[in-house]
Amino acid sequence: MRPALPTLYDAVGGEPAVTHLVARFYHHMATLPEARDTLALHVDLERARDRFTLFLIGWLGGPDVYVERFGHPRLRARHMPFAIGERERDQWLLCMERATADVISDPAVAAALMRAFVPVANHMINQHE
């Protein structure tokens, strides 16, 4: 039997690191003027932060608590009520890039994480300018 390959969840440092990553992500969203459009899409930041943390834990290969509590993520469908264009995608990625730089010390892990986020962020676009 082959040992399981490490997941991004393991590589970033598990639940504590994911929780810290999400906290830094929302910090940057709240403090960067260039992220104001994406911040404005959030009605309940605490709820968003909690759900995003649970989602990321499972998406990165950790326990799938999000699915157990809320069902399939249906990311694009859940984001359809919000106008997301390239500007909002870029703002989201900027905040995530800053958060990743804050939390992930291994450059290879940080790069892998950002490579994983880009296609998901692109998939959320539902408005074309």
Report the candidate in 100, 102, 126, 103 with the shortest Cα–Cα distance to residue 113.
100
Q: Looking at the domain assignment, is residue 5 inside a domain?
A: no
Q: Give me the CATH number covering residue 47.
A: 1.10.490.10
* Residues 94-129: tens digit of each pLDDT: 999 999 999 999 999 999 999 999 999 999 999 886
Q: What residues of the chain score a pLDDT lower than 50? A: none
Domain that holds residue 26: 10-123
pLDDT of residue 125: 94
Q: Looking at the domain assignment, is residue 128 inside a domain?
A: no
pLDDT of residue 3: 56
pLDDT of residue 20: 98
Q: Looking at the domain assignment, is residue 2 inside a domain?
A: no
Amino acid at 53: T
Instruction: Provide the token pair at 24.
Output: 């830094």
Q: Looking at the domain assignment, is residue 1 inside a domain?
A: no
Q: Give pTM, 2 decimals.
A: 0.91
